[in-house]
Amino acid sequence: MAWAKTGVALGALPPGTMREVDLDGTAVLLVRLGPEVHAVAGICTHEGGILADGSLAGARIKCPVHGAVFDARDGSVLADPDDVEPPEGVARPLQRYSTRVLDGMVEVDLGA
């Protein structure tokens, strides 16, 4: 595992919020849902929108560019911007990353 320090304290990421971090040139979106922190790619797979500029409703991340909606827990596509039923639309699932909290700080596993 390649755990990367995000520099984000768990207390600085209240439940129901999201925050983008840059980890070795990779935009990662941290999303806190209740006590859990999830991490997915921070860039929309449709047209490259910055997901941190979008909205979060429950576990649903909505891209600010064309409205694609993703599940923060696993990166799956919930709604396509062209109203095509997933998985047949233009948006693809977001990369999902494992997270952990070590000494109160959020870390993300970027993989090999």
CATH code, 56: 2.102.10.10
With a pLDDT cut of 90, the percent of the chain lying above it is 81
Exposed (0-12), middle (13-18) or buried (19+): which is 1, by Cβ within 10 Å?
exposed
> What pLDDT score does 111 carry?
83
Q: Does residue 17 register a pLDDT over 90?
A: yes
Does 112 map to a domain?
A: no
In this structure, are residues 31 and 38 in contact, taking their beta carbons and an 8 Å threshold? yes
> For residue 99, what are the domain limits?
3-107
- In the block, residue with structure tokens 């040139």: 25
Cβ neighbours of residue 4 under 8 Å, at least 6 residues apart?
Answer: 23, 24, 107, 108, 109, 110
The tens digit of pLDDT for each residue in 60-96 reads 999 999 899 999 999 999 999 877 777 788 899 999 9
Does 70 map to a domain?
A: yes
The tens digit of pLDDT for each residue in 23-39 reads 989 999 999 999 999 99
